[in-house]
Structure 1
Amino acid sequence: MDKKIIGRKEKITLPELGLNLVWAKIDTGAYTSSLHAEEIREIELNGKPVLTFQILMPSHQKFTGKTLTFEKFRKKKVKNSFGHAEERYLIETKIQLAGETYRAEFTLTDRSSMKNSILLGRKILRGRFLVDVSQTNLGKSHRHKK
Structure 2
Amino acid sequence: MKEEKALTPRPEKRVIGRRELVALPDLDITEIEAKIDTGAFTSAIHCSDIHEETNADGKKVICVELLDPSHPQYNHKKLRFADYDLRDIKSSFGEVQQRYVIRTTIALFGEVIEAEFSLSDRSDMKYPVLIGRKLLKGRFIVDVSRKNVSQKYKIKQQQKHTNL
TM-score range, shorter chain: over 0.9
CA–CA separation in structure 2 for the residues paired with 1:56 and 1:126 = 26
CA–CA separation in structure 1 for the residues paired with 2:69 and 2:110 = 25
CA–CA separation in structure 1 for the residues paired with 2:12 and 2:101 = 29
Aligned-pair distance for 1:62? Answer: 3.2
Aligned to 1:139: 150
Aligned AA (2:47): A
Please identify, of 112-121 and 49-58, the stretch whose mean Cα deviation from structure 2 is larger: 49-58
From the superposition, tell whether residues 9 and 20 of structure 1 become closer, same or farther in structure 2 (CA, over 3 Å). same
Aligned to 2:16: 6
- Secondary structure at the aligned position of 2:151 is classed as helix
Structure 1 residue ranges, 4+ long, deviating more than 4 angstroms after superposition = 57-60
Count matched residues.
Answer: 146
Contact kept, 8 Å, 1:33 with 1:124, in 2: the verdict is: yes
Q: Calculate the aligned-residue CA RMSD, in Å.
A: 1.7
Aligned-pair distance for 1:57? Answer: 5.8
CA–CA separation in structure 1 for the residues paired with 2:137 and 2:68 = 26
CA–CA separation in structure 2 for the residues paired with 1:58 and 1:30 = 26
Unaligned runs of 5+ in 1: none
Aligned to 1:33: 43
Contact kept, 8 Å, 2:48 with 2:68, in 1: the verdict is: no
Q: Does 1:66 align with 2:82?
A: no
Unaligned runs of 5+ in 2: 1-10
Identical residues among aligned pairs (%): 44
Contact kept, 8 Å, 1:90 with 1:107, in 2: the verdict is: yes
TM-score with structure 1 length normalisation?
A: 0.93
Contact kept, 8 Å, 1:7 with 1:137, in 2: the verdict is: yes
Higher strand share: 1
- Rg bigger for which structure? 2
Q: Given the alignment, which residue of 26, 29, 46 partners 1:16?
A: 26
CA–CA separation in structure 1 for the residues paired with 2:118 and 2:13 = 25
Deviation track 1:98-142 (CA, whole Å, cap 9, x = no partner) reads 221010000011111111111000000000001110010111244
Contact kept, 8 Å, 1:58 with 1:112, in 2: the verdict is: no
